[in-house]
Structure 1
Amino acid sequence: MDDRGLPRERGGTHPELHDVVIVGAGQAGLALSHELTAADVEHVVLERERVAESWRGRWDSFCLVIPNWTVRLPGAFYGGGDPDGFMSRDAIVRQLVGYAAGFRAPVREGVAVTEVHGDPHGGFRLSTSAGPVLARQLVLAVGGYQKPHHPPAWRSLPDWAHVIDAEDYANPTLLPPGGVLVVGSGQTGCQIAEELAEAGRRVHLACGRAPWIPRRVEDRDMISWIEETPFFAAKVTDLPDPRMRLLANLQCSGRDGGHDLNYRTLQAIGVTLAGHFLGAQNGVARFEDDLDASVAFGDARYDDICQLIVKCLERNGQHVPELPRAAPFVATPVTQLDLSGVGTVLFTSGFRPDFARWVDLPEAFDAMGFPVQHDGSSTAMPGLHFMGVHWQRTRKSATFLGVAEDATLLAERITASVRGA
């Protein structure tokens, strides 16, 4: 071993070599490591910072939006006393740290992978903060989205505006005084807008197209009803357009035991709703007059889910719950906002893949930056794999609900490849 704790080949002049290198120690990387460990496949997990680092970076009040019973890590399905609750940020971190320790995951924290290249002799060459590493098989488990997305119009904001991304938000007390313009209305945008409004901030929310669900129906969490259907098992090929992979997740909240959270509930607590953010001119933000269309889109997606639940339950002879209808929506959306009274513009408009910045394998990614893969294995680059990618296999792939299935299948494929080499 060298003074960094890394194995060193004879003479200390060559890169270390591993059968499998996993980049990233979140739930996806750890789940795969668990399965490879069980199969006695030699591997290492390189983590830029600490285990579960992406969860550590969420805002202070963050908690899961899907219930605890959906936490299904390989060999460690949720077994706590609150299956219908929603784990806090810190509880999620403790869960993953304990999980890694439980099977002695070969994680090396503080090792950043800065570049990945194909090796001319086969496999992959990684440049890391701890020196070069060679991998016969490489798994990128850094999530599907790594780069905050801003609509192009964000560049029109005045230089004096305090602009941050969701990953920079911790709690209302750390923001400058004044109102807050939240741009983006998926789960994150809605949760932060609600928290800011409850803290007494004047909040404007630039809304887009996002589906929503009620939190509970007949004393069951709505997610448990949806799981009775093929919704979470849907594949990219089931979508009318692959771009729908970027559609926001279902609007609802797990905070304070879980509750409804959507445009109607936000409006009721005083959040001012607007349409899509168009940009700013002379210190005034402008918005598209399309709020009604966005609300109608979300209502239509909720109706789709209701119809799916009814169809599946009736077909199986099961009890069909009384699913609530969308309440009437009446709003007078703002189309302009004087930014002089806004202390912060907070973007929660999603993330995009960013593999191309550090992975020099351009043929492995499509025009949108997503991996060209099937069930987690690259179809363009033998030996390259992915875990935790949105829609890797199904809609649930990037969640705790789907990680065990994906890890088991990918580990079987990698194990066969390593042993057949």
Structure 2
Amino acid sequence: MRTDRALLYCAVNGIANNTNGVGRQTKTFLGTLQQHHAALTVQVGAFTPYLAVPEPGPALWGYDPADLAHARTVVEALGGRVIPLSWDAGAPMWRPANWQALSAGAARAAATLAVVHERVLVIGVDTPFAGLAHHAGTNPRVDTVLALFSTARITERPHPDPGRLTWETAAITAVNQRPRVWAAGIGDFLTRHLHDTYGLRSDRVRPWPSGLHLTDPRLSPPTPAEAEHTARHHGIPTDRPLITAVGRTDRTKGLDLLIEAAAPLRDRTHLAMIAVPTDDDRARLLDVYRERCAALRLDATVVGHFDPELPRALAALPTSRVMAVPSLGETLANIVFETCLWARGHGSVVLAPAIDGFPEQITDGHNGLLYHPTRPGALTAGLRRALGLTETERSALREAAHRRVAAERDAARHLATLLTSIWPSPPGPGR
């Protein structure tokens, strides 16, 4: 048996695709491994990383062979590999039947790795892999951490899907009852939410704060010329104050609310919005957004696909005034952290509702702006507030935002914290 450990990271998004916030978290994980694996082994001992992903192919939302090739390059260079998991590609991914298959497949993969590695840590990312909790404790060399980045009670309020709710509740119950399984402490709000709403025991949490690969060149600010070129490529004007937003075609992202809120400001701004279509009937919302912009006579561009360079450009354009995040429910929004890095020198300040995890990210008037979403007209008022800032005020907010993210969101440090909480001492010969 090898004396090193194995780290098995299981995710639906970010390995063979990249279409949402979980995908960007997975890209962060891969970037952290690629640059910091050697330093991590000094801190926690030798370990080999593996990735588990639903069998890649056209049925996988946003499947991109280039994403899969990159993931393989990262882990194979470190001695690991990508492990495909069986699933019913003819059925919706976001249903318990496929989640059960994926969780069971990941548990079998972990057991196989435990035959050749001293210990195995399985990280199950988000709802589809919450079922790993039910397999915990069956192998004494396998530890499990569920990294739930949200729940049905957050993203589907006020009427969460009963099947997803049952799945999540059963998973947290298993975390409380079974050995060698924990929930990741992604952020203060989410940890409180899991405790108060799902009954998660406090001693079943291991720290793994949401972070960024801070040295990733893609998180560095583009030059004004680069940002303007990218914006113009997508038909976005660069000579008017911009209200910007990034989300998928999902009601919980609140893009429809932003369109309505921007209407009173139509004569002085351009709305530049990225709305990435989902892989289900929610994709029709893209046409709804465009039709509503036309009906309100908004000066608007709604981009219906994801170009990773476009959010970066929108955040950093000198004419960008605000990155609006009008979500109805969010634990910790990646776009908030990313904007804080992209817009360091010029560009947007972040505007978000004072709910859920947003106050954990933003101190109103210090590193961004918050509004109270239940107050009539609050989003429009927040947009007016952002547009009314002086350049000196915007610069101060952006600088404070950058400092806070740089100080608090180092993904390499956070991964080391998680690994040492599970693997308290490095393995050695003869152990």
Which interval holds the TM-score relative to the shorter structure? 0.3 to 0.5
TM-score (norm 2): 0.32
TM-score (norm 1): 0.33
Greater strand fraction, Structure 1 or Structure 2: 1
